[in-house]
């Protein structure tokens, strides 16, 4: 099977963007989250600089709450492709016991993702961070630029974004300013899966259906992990044939019932999917119950 | 939701424009909803919203109104992108809202699109803002505009009102030079002709909006002639490999061909074209073309770096530090002649100052007004001087290498978007101004024998008879008869037959709407060439759509194009059925068969109408030959 003309065009446009980053910036990094979009991004970066290797470091901002399979996969991929892997965690917050039950998902993300990311970008003096976000993912991203400007504090000011015309990207920065760059902006979830299928890109096994221990809560299947007692709270543990449609921290990734245990089956499943990616994605812990926990552990 | 698997899809980028009350959000919502591109959880949210407002129907506008809330919070949004799919195409919609900053927003959205949907309210028709939007689309080189005449439900679905608007817009847009304009009467609110064909406007037999988006032919937009390869990055991973990474902006590059590196003017040959194929295994194609991201290796080691450009020796862009451009000002601060801006053109960057403002455009009247510094959202013609030369094509000639942006040297904001005009001399003395005047992408040779001379030798004007009519109406028989009669009378005449063309020149084309468009476009080009050679051409094509016939008229030329309607009732044609095609169509063996499963738009004002159910074949031939004698001054 070959790439259809629209995938070939998306691929070429993404490669162009990746090359622009390397040409225009001094210390860019490729953000890597271990998920399917990151896997595609890595493949595109390999292609953009072929026959050379990926000329910039790959950064994983870790929350410490990723699935064990993700860590294994990350290290294997880094070894096989041979890129330079940078790791960072918000150690201070983790030492203080940060988790979504205690803080609520928003606050937890703020500490373990946002703050950690800003720390990492500062630590490595990054001027451009390439991410795998897609505009189709959610409404607020629909207006995001390919080259998204951040001020001295790493903040995104929607009023201060640069118009992007044609394929001319303005990567000029003042002191302390930085850029986030999104080469997959125009890809859809379907494009990602088709590309993974046609390019035979390795992905984390969590995307494939198998029997997993979960707690069924309404439509959500909340994963239970042996090593983390927090995941056992709040329900009956069942074994369900399921897979993850999108991956994040295990506290906040809901599985979906599925028998799709190959990429072909996943692509086929996507043909009939009726809900948005986001609908199964976030398990909101900011309920009355979690608020109570938060108050109880209010010392944070 | 996901309608396609890994089948061959093409990509179409389009934008929408219209004033706030024209129903743009509703149209986009309708398009997404009726084409099955809205998720269940989103529809449920709409139904919930309808319940809360006690409204009897869901508001499809809400699907795209994430933006509205933000607007109310005072956040500027210039373009929001949306994605949807049919079985044929993947669509990227650049949705630019904004009353206040429409020029900036629309220009940004329009810069990359293949098509713009321009909405008008059927009640108010073509208003000042419609003209403004059409002007910006034309300025940014959008190749085709679809004028959606919306709210037809509020004018009783009246054909006369639609025709008035078509007439008004056609008259206005003639001077804008938009390649292709399509008109569709719709009601976004009721769903008429957006995705589902209207049952309330039976007088309209053309495409719905989605059908048009699905089938409009866009491959011809790529400039495959002028090779322009801006070097993006030099790849030097080891001692054995040195290559130039970049995306081919236009044209085609082949292994073994000679190229010139700009600005050094050094020559070499293409040694190999490299890209990573599946699984990042090296792939070495013998050629690459427009939009391909590749790595080029040359036979000789030249000193080439980012910002240089590889082109063909016989086809060099203007190399210049002085040029004129139409510029849209985007920055908050007005333009200043004392500032040295940074200019980015393809992968090249240098400094630029504005040496003159030739005029400004009054965006309300579209007239020229006295020059002065451009402020935000203003458009004008500027003369620009750069510190080092750029390699320029005019924008109407090459969208990819005719654009640039200006960047403020202090704030680094993008403050202007420019489109290069085709005047000015190259410092290397290569003056392409002659070739760029023509719309085609290469130099047009001026022959030593003129058409007038040929016509005078043959003793008649070269015209094209375009015979349209249902299958079995008698087009070919009359055409053959006329060809014989004209030839016998000493004229140089030729019958151009659709089936014959399909066996040769057009053998790669099928019967989809876009292939049929392309079939007719090529036929018209052939007829135009033959006219140029002094020959009278008799074309016999079903050509069921007025738009296609109008396109043929534009190619062949108003004064040479004679529209002949070979008219017979469908029943008569079906009875004749010379090739048993109607029987097959009735049995469903042939799809999209004109008259059975596809509409036929009869010409409203043909030059001649031949009613073959009442006239005999010799009578038809005679009337036609008589008309030719008159029109071609035989």
Nearest to A165 among B111, B232, B412 (CB): B111
Q: Which of A22, A158, A163 lies at the smallest CB-CB distance from B108? A: A163
- A176 and A214 inside one domain: no
Domain boundary among A148, A165, A190: A190
Distance between terminal CA atoms of chain B?
Answer: 61
Measured between beta carbons, which residues in chain A are less than 8 angstroms from residue B238?
52
User: Which DSSP helix (H) or strand (E) runs through B466?
Assistant: strand B464-468
Interchain CB distance below 8 Å, B414 and A163: yes
Q: Could you tell me if residue A39 is inside a domain?
A: yes
- In terms of domains, do A124 and A228 share one? no
Residue A247 lies in a domain: yes
A168 at B interface, C-beta within 8 A:
yes
Is there a domain that residue A264 lies in?
Answer: yes
E strands, chain A, where?
A: 28-31, 58-61, 85-88, 128-130, 147-150, 178-181, 210-217, 220-223, 237-244, 255-257
The reported pLDDT for the residue numbered A154 is 79
Which pLDDT does position A57 carry in this prediction? 97
Contact A166 B293 (CB under 8 A): no
- Cα of B323 vs its chain's centroid, Å: 26
B518: closest CA among B213, B183, B217? B217
Q: Could B347 and A23 be called an inter-chain contact, meaning their C-beta atoms sit closer than 8 Å?
A: yes
> Do A31 and A180 reside in the same domain of the chain?
yes
pLDDT for the residue B435: 32
Q: Is residue A28 located within the same domain as residue A139?
A: yes
Structural domains in chain B plus CATH codes: 10-221 (3.40.50.300), 229-311 (2.40.30.10), 318-437 (2.40.30.10), 451-631 (3.40.50.300)
Q: Tell me the CB-side half-sphere exposure of residue B630, using CA atoms within 13 A.
A: 9
Query: What is the full per-residue pLDDT of chain A (300 aa) written as tens digits?
Result: 566 789 999 999 999 999 999 999 999 999 999 999 999 999 999 999 999 999 999 999 999 999 999 999 999 999 999 999 999 999 999 999 888 888 888 889 889 998 999 999 999 999 999 999 999 887 667 778 999 999 888 787 767 789 999 999 999 999 989 999 999 999 998 899 999 999 999 999 999 999 999 998 877 888 998 888 888 877 889 999 999 988 989 988 889 999 999 999 998 888 777 666 655 544 444 433 333 333 233 322
How far does the CA of residue B524 sit from the closest CA of chain A (Å)?
28
Q: Do both A215 and A243 map to the same domain?
A: yes
* Closest chain A C-alpha to B76 CA, distance in angstroms: 6
- Residue B153: closest CA among B195, B117, B122: B122
Residue A90 lies in a domain: yes
Contact criterion met (CB < 8 Å) for A200 and B279: yes
Residues A173 and A25 in one domain: yes
Closest CA to B424 of B317, B528, B552: B317
Q: Number of structural domains, chain A?
A: 2
Map tokens 């084409």 to a residue: B35
Distance CA B382, CA B402 (A): 14
Q: Is residue A97 part of a domain?
A: yes
**pLDDT at position A1:** 53
- The answer for B36, left when phi > 0, alpha when psi is -120 to 50, beta otherwise, is left
Contact A159 B330 (CB under 8 A): no
Torsion of CA B368, B370, B373, B374, to 10 degrees: -20
Q: Is residue A196 part of a domain?
A: no
A176 and A210 co-located in one domain: no
Residue A293 C-alpha, separation from nearest chain B C-alpha, in angstroms: 30
- Residue A198 belongs to a domain: no
The reply to whether A163 touches chain B by the CB within 8 Å rule is yes
Q: Which domain holds residue A26?
A: 5-190
Q: Express the helix, strand and coil content of chain B in percent, nearest 5 each.
A: 30, 30, 40
Contact B417 A163 (CB under 8 A): yes
Distances (CA, A) of A94 to A97, A102, A107, B477, B535: 5, 12, 13, 86, 84
Are A169 and A20 in the same domain?
yes
- Given this model, what pLDDT does residue A277 score? 60
Whichever domain contains A56, its CATH number is 3.40.50.620
Inside any domain, residue A169: yes
A15 near B CB under 8 A:
yes
**Residue numbers in B near A161 (CB within 8 A):** 78
A194:B6 CB<8 A: yes
Question: CB-based contact (8 Å) between A82 and chain B?
Answer: no
Identify the domain boundary among A156, A190, A224: A190
Question: Which residues are CB-neighbours of B564 under 8 A, at least 6 positions away?
Answer: B465, B466, B467, B468, B606, B607, B608, B609, B610, B624
| pLDDT, averaged in runs of 10, over chain B (634 residues) | 56 88 84 84 76 73 61 60 90 78 83 94 91 91 95 96 95 85 95 94 95 91 91 94 96 95 94 90 92 96 95 92 94 93 97 92 83 90 94 93 97 96 51 32 62 85 94 92 93 89 83 80 92 93 87 85 93 88 85 84 90 91 92 83
Nearest-by-Cβ selection for A166 from B77, B112, B232:
B112
For residues A76 and A169, membership in a common domain is answered with yes
The conformation of residue A113, written as its DSSP 8-state character, comes to I
Distance (Å, whole) CA B312 – CA B442: 12
From chain B, the residues in CB contact with A164 under 8 A are: 108, 414
Q: Which helix (H) or strand (E) holds B146?
A: strand B144-150
The answer on A289 and A157 residing in a single domain is no
Find the closest chain B residue to A280 by CA distance.
B41
- Do both A72 and A164 map to the same domain? yes
Whether the ω angle into residue A270 lies within 30 degrees of 0, i.e. cis, is no
Q: Determine the pLDDT at residue B21.
A: 73
Residues A134 and A267 in one domain: no
Touching B: A residues 124-143, CB under 8 Å: 135-136, 139-140, 142-143
Residue with tokens 């005999």: B616
pTM for the structure as a whole: 0.76
What strands lie across the sheet with B10-17, from one edge to the other? B80-85, B89-95, B10-17, B115-121, B144-150, B180-185
Domain boundary among A190, A220, A242: A190
Find residue B11's DSSP bridge partners. Answer: B90
């Amino acid at each position: 099977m070959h790439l259809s003309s629209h995938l070939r065009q998306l691929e070429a446009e993404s490669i162009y963007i990746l090359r622009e980053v390397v040409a225009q910036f001094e210390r860019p990094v490729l953000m890597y989250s271990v998920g399917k979009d990151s896997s595609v991004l890595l493949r595109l970066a390999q292609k953009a600089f072929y026959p050379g290797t990926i000329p910039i470091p790959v950064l994983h901002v870790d929350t410490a709450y990723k699935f064990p399979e993700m860590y294994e996969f990350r290290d294997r991929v880094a070894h096989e492709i041979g890129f330079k892997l940078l790791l960072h965690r918000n150690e201070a917050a983790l030492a203080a016991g940060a988790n979504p039950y205690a803080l609520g998902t928003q606050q937890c993300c703020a500490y373990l993702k946002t703050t950690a990311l800003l720390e990492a970008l500062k630590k490595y003096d990054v001027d451009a961070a390439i991410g795998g976000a897609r505009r189709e993912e959610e409404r607020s991203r629909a207006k995001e630029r390919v080259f998204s400007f951040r001020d001295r504090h790493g903040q995104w000011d929607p009023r201060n974004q640069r118009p992007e015309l044609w394929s001319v990207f303005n990567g000029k920065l003042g002191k302390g300013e930085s850029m986030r760059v999104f080469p997959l902006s125009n890809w859809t979830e379907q494009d990602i899966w088709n590309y993974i299928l046609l390019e035979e890109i390795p992905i984390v096994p969590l995307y494939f259906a198998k029997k997993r221990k979960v707690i069924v809560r309404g439509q959500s299947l909340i994963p239970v992990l042996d090593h983390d007692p927090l995941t056992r709270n709040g329900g009956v543990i069942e074994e369900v044939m399921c897979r993850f449609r999108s991956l994040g921290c295990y506290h906040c990734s809901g599985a979906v019932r599925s028998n799709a245990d190959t990429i072909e089956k996943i692509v086929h499943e996507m043909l009939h999917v009726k809900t948005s990616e986001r609908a199964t994605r976030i398990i909101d812990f900011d309920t009355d119950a979690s608020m109570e926990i938060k108050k109880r552990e209010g010392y944070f | 939701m996901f309608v396609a698997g890994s089948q061959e899809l093409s990509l179409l980028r389009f934008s929408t424009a219209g004033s706030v009350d024209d129903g743009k959000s509703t149209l986009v919502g309708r398009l997404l909803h009726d084409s099955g591109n809205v998720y269940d959880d989103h529809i449920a949210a709409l139904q919930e919203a309808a319940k809360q407002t006690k409204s009897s129907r869901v508001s499809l506008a809400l699907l795209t109104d994430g933006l509205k809330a933000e607007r109310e919070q005072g956040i500027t949004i210039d373009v929001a992108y949306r994605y949807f799919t049919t079985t044929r195409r993947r669509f990227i919609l650049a949705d630019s809202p904004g009353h206040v900053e429409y020029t900036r927003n629309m220009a940004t959205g329009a810069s990359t699109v293949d098509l713009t949907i321009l909405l008008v309210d059927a009640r108010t028709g073509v208003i000042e803002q419609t003209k403004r939007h059409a002007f910006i689309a034309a300025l940014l080189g959008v190749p085709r505009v679809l004028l959606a005449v919306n709210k037809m439900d509020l004018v009783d679905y009246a054909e006369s009102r639609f025709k008035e608007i078509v007439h008004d817009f056609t008259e206005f847009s003639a001077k804008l030079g938009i390649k292709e304009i399509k008109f569709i009467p719709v009601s976004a609110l009721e769903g008429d002709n957006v995705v589902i064909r209207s049952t309330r406007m039976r007088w309209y037999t053309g495409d719905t909006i989605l059908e048009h988006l699905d089938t409009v032919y866009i491959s011809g937009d790529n400039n495959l002639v002028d090779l322009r390869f801006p070097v993006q990055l030099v790849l030097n991973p080891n001692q054995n490999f040195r290559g130039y990474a970049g995306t081919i902006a236009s044209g085609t590059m082949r292994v073994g061909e000679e190229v010139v590196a700009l600005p050094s003017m050094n020559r070499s040959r293409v040694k190999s074209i490299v890209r990573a194929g599946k699984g990042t295994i090296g792939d070495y194609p013998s050629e690459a073309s427009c939009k391909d991201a590749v790595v080029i290796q040359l036979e000789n080691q030249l000193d080439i770096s980012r910002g240089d450009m590889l082109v063909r020796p016989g086809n060099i862009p203007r190399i210049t530090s002085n040029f004129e451009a139409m510029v849209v000002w985007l920055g908050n601060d007005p333009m200043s002649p004392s500032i040295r801006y940074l200019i980015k053109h393809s992968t090249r960057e240098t400094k630029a100052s504005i040496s003159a403002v030739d005029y400004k455009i009054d965006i309300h009247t579209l007239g020229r007004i006295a020059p002065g510094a451009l402020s935000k959202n203003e458009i004008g013609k500027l003369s620009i001087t750069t510190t080092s030369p750029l390699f320029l094509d005019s924008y109407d000639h090459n969208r990819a290498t005719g654009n640039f942006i200006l960047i403020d040297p202090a704030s680094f904001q993008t403050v202007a978007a420019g489109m290069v005009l085709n005047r000015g001399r190259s410092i290397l003395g290569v003056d392409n101004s002659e070739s760029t005047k023509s719309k085609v992408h290469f130099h047009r040779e001026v022959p030593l024998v003129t058409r007038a001379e040929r016509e005078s030798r043959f003793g008649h004007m070269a015209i094209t008879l375009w015979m349209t009519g249902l299958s079995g109406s008698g087009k070919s028989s009359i055409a053959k008869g006329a060809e014989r009669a004209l030839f016998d009378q000493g004229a140089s005449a030729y019958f151009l037959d659709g089936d014959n063309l399909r066996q040769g020149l057009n053998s790669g084309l099928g019967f989809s709407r876009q292939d049929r468009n392309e079939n007719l476009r090529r036929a018209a080009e052939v007829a135009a060439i033959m006219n140029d050679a002094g020959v009278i051409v008799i074309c016999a094509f079903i050509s069921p759509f007025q738009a296609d016939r109008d396109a043929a008229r534009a190619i062949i030329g108003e004064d040479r194009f004679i529209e002949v309607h070979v008219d017979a009732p469908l029943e008569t044609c079906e009875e004749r059925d010379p090739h048993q095609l109607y029987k097959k169509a009735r049995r469903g063996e042939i799809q999209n068969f004109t008259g059975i499963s596809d509409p036929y738009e009869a010409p409203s004002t043909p030059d001649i109408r031949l009613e073959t159910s009442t006239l005999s074949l010799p009578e038809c031939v005679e009337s036609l030959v008589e008309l030719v004698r008159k029109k071609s001054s035989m």
